[in-house]
Structure 1
Amino acid sequence: MPKHLLPRRLRFLVALLSVLSPLCINAAEPSPMPLRKPNVIFFIADDLGYADVGCFGQKKIHTPNIDRIATEGMKFTQHYSGSPVCAPSRCVLMTGKHSGHSAVRDNRELKPEGQFPLPANTITVARLLQQNGYITGAFGKWGLGGPESSGKPLDQGFTRFFGYNCQRVAHNLFPTYLWDDNHRLALDNPPIGEDQKLPADADSNDPASYKAFTGKSYAPDLYAEQALRFIRDNKDHPFFLFFPTIVPHVALQVPEDSLKEYEGKLPETPYTGGKGYLPNRTPHAAYAAMITRMDRDLGRMLALIKELNLDDDTIFVFTSDNGPAPQDMGGTDTKFFNSSGPFRSGKTSIYEGGMRIPLIVRWHGKIQPNSTSDRVTGFEDWLPTLLELSGNKKSVPTGIDGLSFASTLLGEKLPERPFLYREFPAYGGQQAIRVGNWKAVRQHLKPKGNAKPNLHIELYDLQTDIAESHDVSDEHPDIVTKLDNLMREQHIPSKAFPFPALDKPGSN
C-alpha cells in the first residue's frame, strides 16, 4: 500500500523508524578515536660535531641507531645550534629566542652550584607543552639555573627531572651525586677532582694508573634508565622527553664494557692531564666508545617505543648543543675524527664548525624515510615547530624569533628563511648573520685590556666556500652594508651580559 494511504498513526511509526534506524546502525559501530598528540623524544648530545656520527660522514665511530633514524626519517644538513657553547644554546632551544634576544648568553657559573638562571615564569617549550596536556621530563644536563634558583627545571615547565643541574659537576661522568627532581641523590662514587694530572712517577700506559679517575655509577646510564622508566610510566599520555646527555663532553670516561669495542683498534697517545679535565690512557677509544654507548641509549628508547606500540605516535629528534670540543682540550682529538667535517673551527666559535650540527627527525608514517632537507633551521625554531606538530599552533607566543618548519618535516615547501642571527659575548666577542648563502662574521668585539674592538665584517659565500676560508667583503660592499644593518637590528642589550661594542648607540 502506498505510504500516503496508511492510517495516520501507522504513518507516524514508519517515519519514526526511518529516523531511528540510522542512529541504531551508527551506535553499533565504534566511533573513531581522537588522534593522539605525538610524543616527543628530544635527544641532544653535548659537544658532538657535525661529522661525529655515521650518517653525517663519520668513519671511525659506530652509530647504528642514529644512522637508522636517518634512514627512517629526515636528515637536515643546515641546522644551527643556538650558540657555540652549552647554556646559551639550550636557552635558545627552550625559549625560541635567538642569542641577541635571549636571557642567557654565556656559560656564566653561579656559586654554590649552577649557571645563570632563566628568569621566573619564562615561556619555555616545556611549559607550553605542559599547558597543552603533555607530561614533561628532562634527563641529563640542565645548566639553566641552579637548584635554588628561578631557573631550576621543575620551575620551567618540567614535571620530572633527573641528572646534573650544573655544567661544572657534569665534567665528571662518575659524580658523587645527581638531582632527582629537587632531591640531591648520593651516588656510590669517590670524589674526583675535575682537573687533575697523572702523577709524575705513574706509568702512563698502565691501566692501574688511571683507577683513581673512575667510579662505580656511570651517570649517563643512570639518567638513561630514568628516561626509559618515564616512557613506561607515561605510555598512555602524550609526553615530552628532553634528553640532554653529557656525552661526548669531556672528561673522557666510559665503562670498560664499551671501551673494549675500540681499545687496541685506534692509535693512542695517553692523555696525562694538563689541558683540563681528567687523564685517560686511551683517549681515541674512549671518545668513540662514549658516542657508541650514547647511540645504544637511543636504540633502547627506539626499542621500548616499538614494544609499547607507540612508534606511530612518537617523534624522535637527534641533535647536538654545539660543535665539537676544541682540539686537544681534555684529551680530545677532533682532527683525528674529523668531527667538524668540512667546516671551520668548533665549539666556542661562531664559524660554521661551532654551530652547524647534525639533526635527524623521525616520525614513523609521517616523515618520508631516507629524506634530506637543506633548509636553514636553528634551535629557536623548535618551539613553534613542536607546538605545530602537536596540534597546538595557536599556543605559539608572540615575540619569538623561531619559525616553524613542521611543513618541511611533513614534505611540504616553505619560503626561504629571511635570516639566521647569532651573537656570543665571550671568547673575544663574536657576531654572525646568515642570509641565503651569505654569512657575515665579526670577531674580537670584546678584546682584552684597553684594545679597541675590531668592527671589520668578514663575508663568506657558503655556496662556494663552505670552509669560510676566503673573506669576500671587499668585493661586495653592498651585501656587507645590508648584513651590518640586520645585525644591528637584531641585538638587544642585556644588563646581565653586556656587550659594549654592540650596546653603544652607533658603535656598530
Structure 2
Amino acid sequence: MAAQFRHIPAAKHHGPRTDEESLSWVREGVSGNKMAGVLWMVVLSAVLPMISRADDRPNFVFFVADDLGIGDVGCFGNDTLRTPNIDRIAANGAKLTQHLAAAAVCTPSRSAFLTGRLPVRFGMAGTDRPLAYIFLAAPSGLPRSEVTFPQMAKDHGYQTALIGKWHLGLNCKWVGDHCHHPNKFGFDYFYGFPGSNAPECDPDNVTAGATGKFAADRIYTRFRVWEVALSVFLGLLALKYFRYVQWKTVIVFSVVGWSTVICTYAFWANGRQFNCVMMRDDDVIEQPYDVSTMTPRMTLEATRFLEERKAKKEPFLLEVSYWNAHTALLPYKEFRGKSRHGLYGDTVEEMDWSIGVVMATLERLGLTNNTFVYFTSDNGAHMEIGDAGGWNGKYKGSKGQGGSEGGIRMPTLVQWPRKIKPGTVVTEATSQMDIFPTLAEILKAPLPQDRVMDGRNILPLLGGAKKPSPHDFLFHYCGDRLHAVRYRPRKGKVTWKAHYASYNWEPGTTRCGVDRLVCFCDVPFVTWNDPPLLYDVTNDPTEDRPISADSNPKYREVLDVIMKAVAEHRQNLTEVPNQFRIPLFFPRPWLQPCCNFPYCNCQEKVDLSPLKITAQ
C-alpha cells in the first residue's frame, strides 16, 4: 500500500480540491491495484466530508450585556450614547428587531439562553418573590440534568470559556462541591463572578440610584423573616402554655428560627463581602471584587483566550458576560464622566470599548471571517432606578416585567461574514432560546431527544430568507406565571400578542415606581385580564391600541387559537423541583466561598497596561 501511495500524482493546482477531484486523484494513483483503489475511495468518501464540515465550522463569540435596554444602543435608535463597536456588528451582519428574552430578570433569562428551554421546565423560572438567585451561599442553581450549548460545543472539540457573570448558582452541600459551577455545564475555563453585580458591591453605596441601602434596609424588610420567626416563637409559647408541646420543642424551634433570621440578616447586611466574589475556575481570587476594574480585566482575559486558541489552532466558543450596565455603576476611571448620561452612560460606553478590543483581536488574528459573533442583553433596562437605569426606547415596561416588550425585547446583533450579509435585518420574532438549536444546526449536532426544546433554528432567517418566524407561539413568563403569549400565523405578516396580565404602573409612566425596585408577578403589581388583551405587535409595536371584536373581525379567531395553544402548553409542562423555593433561598454559612478564611478578603493584582485603555 505504501509503494502505491508514493506513485499518486501531485495536485495540478494549489487551491483546495473538491471531493470529486480528490477521489479522481486517488483512482489514478492506485490504478495498478484495484483493491487498494477501492479501499482508498471508501475511506476518503467517508473522511473528506467530515474534514470539509470541520473546516466550515465557525468559532463562536457571545457578548451578553446586563440590564441593557433596547433603546441604549446606537443602531437601535439611540443618538446620545456612543456605541460604535456594537453598531459595527450590525453594519457587518444582522440586526434582530424582535429578539426576545425568555424572562425579564437575570437568572431565568440566562438559564434559558444556555439551555434553549423555558426556565419553568426545569425549576429556574423563579416565583413571585424571589425572581432571581441572590445569595452565593444558597444551594439553589441550574440543575445538573440540563444540557447547555457550551457543553454541546465542547463535545464537538471546541475549547470553551465564560468570562464574566454566571448568576446560576455555585454550591449544593459544601463550599467546595461547585455543583452549579460553570465548569459543570460545558465551560472549560471560567473567569468572573458566580453571582451578580449588585448595588451592595459599591463600597460607598453612591451609585445605586433609587435603590438606596439595598440589602438590610429595603429588600430584607420585604420578606420580613423576623416577623415569621417571632410569630412561630409566640405560637410555640402559647402551645406550651396550654401544654400541647414541651419546653424542648419550644427551644429547638426557636433556636432554628432565630438562627435563620440572624444568618440571613448577616448575609444581607454584609452583601459586598459575601456576594461580590471573583473566581478563576474553582479558586476565589478577589473578595470583595473591585467593580471599577472588572471590565478591563475581563477584556484582557478574553484577548488572551483568543490568542491562545489561535496559537494552538483550536476551535473555540467564548462568552463574555458583562456586568455593564447593572448597578453598582462603577466604570473604570478612564470612562467616568465621558458620556452624556452619567455613570450609566459611562458603563455602556465602557462595554462598547471592550467589545471593540475583542473584535479587533479577532481581526488581528485573522479569525473574523469565520467567527459567529452574537450580541444581546439578558433583560431590559431597569427603569425603576431612575438615572441609574437605562432606556427601553419606545417599548413599554421594564426589567422584571416578563410580558412587557421593554422587559424582554433585546438589542441583538449577529455577525458571521461567511454566511450573513452585511446590513441584514430580521423583523420576525426570534428568541434567545434559539441559539442552542442554531448552533446545533451549524455543528451538525443532534438536539437532546429526552426533553422539550423551546428554541428553533434561525439560521435561515439570519441568511436572509423571507419566511415567517419558526415559532408559532412564544410564551412569556414572569416568574412561574404566564403573562403573555405571542402568536405568528403561518400565513400573513402579522404577529399577535395576548396579555394575560397588565402591570400597575405609576400614572403617566411605564414603571412600577422607585419605591418598589421591580414589578413582581402577581397582585398588587399586576391586574389579570379575562379575556386577555390582544395586540397586533407588527403594526402596533408600542401596544397602544388593543384589538377588540368591534375593531377587528379576526379578534375571536386569533384569541381562540392562542387560548387553545396555552391549554396545550400547560398540559405539556411537568412538575419539577423549584430552585427558588424558600428552603433553598436562605444562605448557609457552610456554602459561603471564601478566599482567605476566616477573613474572606483578597485582591487580584493585574497589569492592565497591555490594553492601552482610552475612552472614545
Q: 2:161 maps to what in 1? A: 137
Is 1:240 aligned with 2:298? no
Q: Please point out which of 378, 385, 388 is paired with 1:321.
A: 378
Label 1:23 to 1:294 Cα distance change in 2 as closer, same or farther (>3 A). Answer: same
Label 1:486 to 1:363 Cα distance change in 2 as closer, same or farther (>3 A). Answer: same
Label 1:307 to 1:60 Cα distance change in 2 as closer, same or farther (>3 A). Answer: same
Is 1:340 aligned with 2:419? no
Could you tell me whether the CA contact under 8 Å between 1:91 and 1:103 is conserved in 2? no
User: More displaced, 178-187 or 165-174?
Assistant: 165-174
Q: Please point out which of 552, 565, 582 is paired with 1:486.
A: 565
What secondary structure, in the 3-state scheme, does the structure 2 residue paired with 1:472 have?
coil
Label 1:418 to 1:188 Cα distance change in 2 as closer, same or farther (>3 A). Answer: closer
CA-atom RMSD in angstroms: 3.1
Label 1:224 to 1:116 Cα distance change in 2 as closer, same or farther (>3 A). Answer: farther
Label 1:66 to 1:109 Cα distance change in 2 as closer, same or farther (>3 A). Answer: closer
Could you tell me whether the CA contact under 8 Å between 2:65 and 2:325 is conserved in 1? yes
Could you tell me whether the CA contact under 8 Å between 1:327 and 1:333 is conserved in 2? yes
Could you tell me whether the CA contact under 8 Å between 1:171 and 1:249 is conserved in 2? no
Aligned letter for 1:303?
Answer: A
> How many angstroms does 1:239 deviate by?
0.6
- After superposition, give the CA deviation of every residue in 1:408-432 in whole Å (9 maximum; x if it has no partner): 2223344433111121237xx4421
> How many angstroms does 1:37 deviate by?
2.0
> How many angstroms does 1:20 deviate by?
9.3
Is 1:421 aligned with 2:475? yes
Unaligned runs of 5+ in 1: 1-18, 190-214, 267-283, 500-508
- After superposition, give the CA deviation of every residue in 1:337-372 in whole Å (9 maximum; x if it has no partner): xx2111111211111111011111111232101121
Unaligned runs of 5+ in 2: 18-50, 172-176, 204-271, 489-494, 503-519, 581-616
- After superposition, give the CA deviation of every residue in 1:143-198 in whole Å (9 maximum; x if it has no partner): 11224453211001110111110126686378764011010012686xxxxxxxxx
> How many angstroms does 1:397 deviate by?
4.5
> How many angstroms does 1:247 deviate by?
0.6
Could you tell me whether the CA contact under 8 Å between 2:60 and 2:318 is conserved in 1? yes
Structure 2: distance between partners of 1:80 and 1:218: 30
Is 1:477 aligned with 2:531? no
- After superposition, give the CA deviation of every residue in 1:191-232 in whole Å (9 maximum; x if it has no partner): xxxxxxxxxxxxxxxxxxxxxxxx585222222211211111
Could you tell me whether the CA contact under 8 Å between 1:387 and 1:396 is conserved in 2? no
Q: Please point out which of 181, 188, 197 is paired with 1:152.
A: 181
Structure 2: distance between partners of 1:354 and 1:285: 22
- After superposition, give the CA deviation of every residue in 1:33-58 in whole Å (9 maximum; x if it has no partner): 74152111010101111111100001
Structure 2: distance between partners of 1:130 and 1:179: 21
Is 1:352 aligned with 2:429? no
Q: 2:328 maps to what in 1? A: 251
Label 1:20 to 1:66 Cα distance change in 2 as closer, same or farther (>3 A). Answer: closer
Label 1:423 to 1:333 Cα distance change in 2 as closer, same or farther (>3 A). Answer: closer
Label 1:494 to 1:290 Cα distance change in 2 as closer, same or farther (>3 A). Answer: farther
User: More displaced, 411-420 or 374-383?
Assistant: 411-420
Q: Please point out which of 488, 496, 509 is paired with 1:438.
A: 496
Counterparts of 1:22-33 in structure 2 under 5 Å?
Answer: 23-26=8-11
Structure 2: distance between partners of 1:229 and 1:377: 33
Structure 2: distance between partners of 1:363 and 1:409: 9
Structure 2: distance between partners of 1:71 and 1:498: 41
Structure-2-length-normalised TM-score = 0.64
Counterparts of 1:180-329 in structure 2 under 5 Å?
Answer: 180-186=280-286, 218-235=293-310, 236-262=313-339, 266=340, 284-328=341-385
Structure 2: distance between partners of 1:319 and 1:171: 25
User: More displaced, 239-248 or 99-108?
Assistant: 99-108
Label 1:80 to 1:453 Cα distance change in 2 as closer, same or farther (>3 A). Answer: closer
> How many angstroms does 1:381 deviate by?
0.6
Structure-1-length-normalised TM-score = 0.77
Could you tell me whether the CA contact under 8 Å between 2:133 and 2:167 is conserved in 1? no
Q: 2:151 maps to what in 1? A: 127
Q: 1:212 maps to what in 2? A: none
Q: 1:87 maps to what in 2? A: 107
Structure 2: distance between partners of 1:188 and 1:345: 33
User: More displaced, 249-258 or 412-421?
Assistant: 412-421
What secondary structure, in the 3-state scheme, does the structure 1 residue paired with 2:11 have?
helix
Structure 2: distance between partners of 1:188 and 1:151: 21
Identity of aligned residues (%): 28
Label 1:25 to 1:346 Cα distance change in 2 as closer, same or farther (>3 A). Answer: same
> How many angstroms does 1:462 deviate by?
1.1
Structure 1: distance between partners of 2:307 and 2:501: 48
Counterparts of 1:34-183 in structure 2 under 5 Å?
Answer: 34=52, 35-106=55-126, 107-109=131-133, 111-113=135-137, 116-147=140-171, 148-167=177-196, 172=201, 177-183=277-283
Ranked by relative contact order (alpha carbons within 8 Å, sequence separation 6 or more), the top structure is: 2
Q: 2:27 maps to what in 1? A: none
- After superposition, give the CA deviation of every residue in 1:75-111 in whole Å (9 maximum; x if it has no partner): 1111001211111111111111124434310244364
> How many angstroms does 1:59 deviate by?
1.3
Label 1:114 to 1:154 Cα distance change in 2 as closer, same or farther (>3 A). Answer: farther
> How many angstroms does 1:327 deviate by?
3.2
Aligned letter for 1:259?
Answer: R
Structure 2: distance between partners of 1:167 and 1:434: 30
Label 1:254 to 1:20 Cα distance change in 2 as closer, same or farther (>3 A). Answer: closer
Structure 1: distance between partners of 2:423 and 2:183: 37
> How many angstroms does 1:473 deviate by?
4.7
Aligned letter for 1:490?
Answer: H
Q: 1:463 maps to what in 2? A: 538
Structure 1: distance between partners of 2:80 and 2:429: 28
Structure 2: distance between partners of 1:258 and 1:357: 25
Structure 2: distance between partners of 1:169 and 1:253: 11
What secondary structure, in the 3-state scheme, does the structure 2 residue paired with 1:433 have?
strand
Could you tell me whether the CA contact under 8 Å between 1:61 and 1:292 is conserved in 2? yes
Q: 1:16 maps to what in 2? A: none
